[in-house]
Every structure is written in structure tokens, then in C-alpha cells.
């Protein structure tokens, strides 16, 4: 088990640094385009004669614009990813049609699985490091929608047509640009939902085949895994509006007997945030006596250093600068690790929760020492190449 790690807080998608404007390709659909989104549902929708089911890829959403040698990689935040992934720029030139706009996901395969942690490291301000990482940890692009081809915009075309046209531009298996599998069979989608998690995918996207491409609207559906775990309440961060609870820091004990930081629980009603302050007040501890007290020294060591936190080997820690938001205060109020709560989570990323966990209930019947990694469900491993071969 590694040192307690600091997960992304309230955001999983980085906002690329604002830079000089990049050339805008002269295409029928031009950047920036906000990608079409999906809203969560609890169970797999049954086929109604129009639905398409795809694996939900765990990476950075990206719309690729290519006009000859000119390539623009647009992010979900409508700022370019182009400078961070030079290897994908070359792959687009080599593997996609001369003029096209393709929606998809930037992913980083490591062996037979996706590695989101390594992907996050690719967003770096230093050009020399960008070059080095592009060679050491090259990314791939998984395509799942076609917005324009040649001089024709396909934004108003139904998804069934866009998918058929997309398949036509992938006559052979790509090297770095791949086509996502799709099915119209509900039972197969449910099978994928269980199988593919072991390769690092986090659910199923459901697309109505008769809909046009609608930017920035949640017209698709997503089915994600939800599990529960009993975790130790180890501290909290104050809300940006004042001295109420913003998020609760969660811990699990490892085989080494230490309490490891696994994520945060958030999204409380404002009245509940104020109540939690009073409920947690009796458990406030001195930082020097807290299991994570050494983080204070590490945080102090990062003052004046870049956001990547070289003093901690690239790990973010409470009180340090956020990797994606240099103005975000990540300091926390330490609590004696005596309280246990049950939270819902969708998946693990290494030894932490991939996304913000959701509070379910207090667990006064559980001891903190019983909250270990052993309780977590581990998905069966599945090979990424086998998924893309479909």
C-alpha cells in the first residue's frame, strides 16, 4: 500500500491552462463545441427499437477537429488539449480522414487496463515534460461519434446515421485511434456492464438512435456501478461560503495498519452542512496527533513550488495547491478517527475512490479498525484490447 493519497476534489476532469489561441480549422463544424452529455439512471434501459449501448470510457472527453495537417483537440471545457497530447495530433493526421470532426475520449492504456492517474499527469505546463510523457505514457483516442466529414455537417443527422458513417472511416483496426464497440441488444449491454469494469471502464452509455447531436445537453443516459463501503471519518474541509462542512475526508485501514486517505463525501444540503459542524465538533483533533499530521509538513514544503507538488512525489496533499485549480484551498480540519459512515461509490482508482462518494448513513455499530480495504469488491480483470476488438 502506498502513502495516503489525495484524490481529485469536486472535479475529475482537468481544465487545461489558458494559452495563446490556436488556429481554428476551417470545417463545417468549428471549435469550440461543448460535447453532448448523459444523465445518470439506476438501471439499464430496455430496448425500445432506437437505443444504442456503448461502454463508458474513463478518460478525458475530447472532440477532434482535423483539416489537413491542422489538428485541434477540444476539451469538455472548450479549451484545447492539443499541446498536451502531441502523439495524438500525429495519430489523427495518420489515421483519420483529411477533413473530419470526431467526438470521443482520450484514454491512457497501461497493459490491459486504463490508467486514469497516469492520464491526469499528462496535463503539465512544461513543454519538456509534455514531450517526455508523450513518449513514456502515450495516450489513445476512442471514437464514438462523427460530427462532420469533408464539407458536410452531421450535427442534425440522427445518431444511427452518424454511427454508420463513423464505422465507414474505420475500415481497419487503428493503432492509436480506435472505434468503440456498440450493441443494440440490452442483454449484451448488461453483460458488458459487468465484464468491462475490470479493464477500467465505468459503465454503459445509452444513446437514442433517432436524435441529432445536441451540444451541452444531457440527452443520453449513463448507467454506472454503485457500491457501498464503511469508511472512517478523518476530517472535513469547510465550504467555500463559510464555516460549514464542504466535504468529509474518508479513510480506510491498509494491511500496514495505517489509515489511508481514500476520497471525500460531499453534496450535502446547506442545512445539513451546518448540522454536521456541530456533530463533528467533539471529535476535532490536533493535527500533530492525527494519522495524517505529517501532511502538514509536506504541504509547507510545497509553498512556492509548482502545482504538481514535487515535494510529495507529485501527490497532492491537504493544504497544498490543487493540480487543476491553484486558488483552491485544500487544508482540512482533522478529526479523531473514531466515527464510521457508510458511503456509496462507483469504482476505485488504485487505492482510492475514483469519484466523490455519497453519504448514506452513520454506522455506530462498526469500529474504525474494521474499515479496511478487504471489504471492497474487486471487479474481474478484463483485457482492454478484447473490448476494442469487438
The domains of the chain are located at 37-224, 227-375
Res 22: pLDDT: 62
Res 35: pLDDT: 95
Does 385 or 222 have the greater pLDDT score? Answer: 222
Share of the chain above pLDDT 90, in %: 57
Asked if pLDDT for residue 151 goes beyond 80, the answer is yes
Pseudo-torsion of CA 151, 156, 162, 166, nearest 10°?
Answer: 30
pLDDT tens-digit readout, 244-257? 999 999 999 998 89
pLDDT band at 21 (very low <50, low <70, confident <90, very high): low
Report how far residue 43's alpha carbon sits from residue 52's, in angstroms, rounded to the nearest whole number: 15
Res 302: pLDDT: 46
pLDDT tens-digit readout, 168-194? 998 777 789 999 999 999 999 999 998
363 contacts 250 by C-beta, under 8 angstroms: no
* Among 37, 32, 128, CA closest to 72: 32
Catalytic residue selected from 43, 56, 281, 327: 56
Res 365: pLDDT: 81
Res 381: pLDDT: 65
Does 355 or 82 have the greater pLDDT score? Answer: 82
Q: Where are the beta strands (DSSP E) in 254-383?
A: 259-266, 333-345, 348-349, 352-353, 357-362
Average pLDDT, the chain: 84
pTM: 0.71
Strand pairing class (99-107; 60-67): antiparallel
Does 2 or 285 have the greater pLDDT score? Answer: 285
pLDDT band at 298 (very low <50, low <70, confident <90, very high): low
Judge whether 56 counts as a catalytic residue.
Answer: yes
Q: Which of 11-20, 60-69, 367-376 has the highest mean pLDDT?
A: 60-69
Rounded average pLDDT over 314-322: 39
Report how far residue 330's alpha carbon sits from residue 310's, in angstroms, rounded to the nearest whole number: 17
CATH architecture classification, 227-375: Beta Barrel (2.40)
pLDDT band at 1 (very low <50, low <70, confident <90, very high): very low
CATH architecture classification, 37-224: 2-Layer Sandwich (3.30)
Amino acid at each position: 500500500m502506498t502513502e495516503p493519497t489525495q484524490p481529485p476534489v469536486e472535479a475529475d476532469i482537468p481544465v487545461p491552462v489558458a494559452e495563446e489561441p490556436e488556429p481554428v480549422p476551417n470545417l463545417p463544424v468549428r471549435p469550440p463545441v461543448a460535447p453532448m452529455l448523459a444523465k445518470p439512471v439506476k438501471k439499464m434501459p430496455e430496448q425500445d427499437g432506437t437505443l444504442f449501448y456503448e461502454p463508458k470510457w474513463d478518460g478525458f472527453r475530447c472532440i477532434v477537429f482535423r483539416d489537413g495537417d491542422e489538428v485541434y483537440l477540444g476539451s469538455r471545457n472548450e479549451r484545447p488539449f492539443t499541446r498536451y497530447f502531441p502523439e495524438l495530433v500525429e495519430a489523427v493526421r495518420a489515421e483519420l480522414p483529411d477533413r473530419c470532426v470526431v467526438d470521443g475520449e482520450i484514454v491512457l492504456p497501461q497493459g490491459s487496463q486504463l490508467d486514469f492517474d497516469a492520464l491526469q499527469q499528462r496535463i503539465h505546463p512544461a513543454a519538456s515534460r509534455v514531450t517526455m510523457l508523450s513518449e513514456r505514457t502515450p495516450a489513445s483516442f476512442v471514437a464514438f461519434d462523427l460530427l462532420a466529414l469533408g464539407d458536410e455537417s452531421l450535427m442534425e443527422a440522427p445518431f444511427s446515421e452518424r454511427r454508420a458513417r463513423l464505422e465507414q472511416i474505420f475500415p481497419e483496426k487503428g493503432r492509436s485511434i480506435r472505434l468503440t464497440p456498440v450493441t443494440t441488444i440490452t442483454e449484451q449491454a448488461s453483460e458488458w456492464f459487468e465484464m468491462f469494469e475490470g479493464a477500467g471502464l465505468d459503465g454503459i452509455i445509452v444513446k437514442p438512435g433517432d436524435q441529432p447531436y445536441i451540444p451541452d445537453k444531457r440527452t443520453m443516459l449513463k448507467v454506472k456501478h454503485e457500491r457501498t463501503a464503511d469508511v472512517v471519518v478523518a476530517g472535513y474541509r469547510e465550504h467555500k461560503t463559510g464555516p460549514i462542512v464542504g466535504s468529509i475526508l474518508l479513510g480506510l485501514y491498509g494491511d500496514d495498519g495505517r489509515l489511508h486517505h481514500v476520497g471525500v463525501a460531499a453534496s450535502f444540503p446547506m442545512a445539513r452542512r451546518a448540522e454536521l459542524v456541530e456533530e463533528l465538533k467533539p471529535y476535532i483533533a490536533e493535527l500533530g496527533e492525527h494519522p495524517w499530521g505529517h501532511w502538514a509538513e509536506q504541504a509547507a514544503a510545497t509553498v512556492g513550488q509548482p502545482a504538481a507538488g514535487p515535494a510529495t512525489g507529485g501527490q497532492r496533499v491537504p493544504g497544498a495547491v490543487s493540480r487543476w485549480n491553484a486558488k483552491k484551498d485544500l487544508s482540512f480540519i482533522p478529526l479523531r478517527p473514531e466515527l464510521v459512515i457508510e458511503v456509496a461509490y462507483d469504482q476505485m482508482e488504485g487505492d482510492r475512490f475514483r469519484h466523490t462518494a455519497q453519504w448514506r448513513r452513520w454506522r455506530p455499530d462498526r469500529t474504525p479498525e474494521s474499515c479496511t480495504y478487504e471489504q471492497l469488491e474487486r471487479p474481474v480483470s478484463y483485457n482492454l484490447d478484447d473490448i476494442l476488438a469487438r
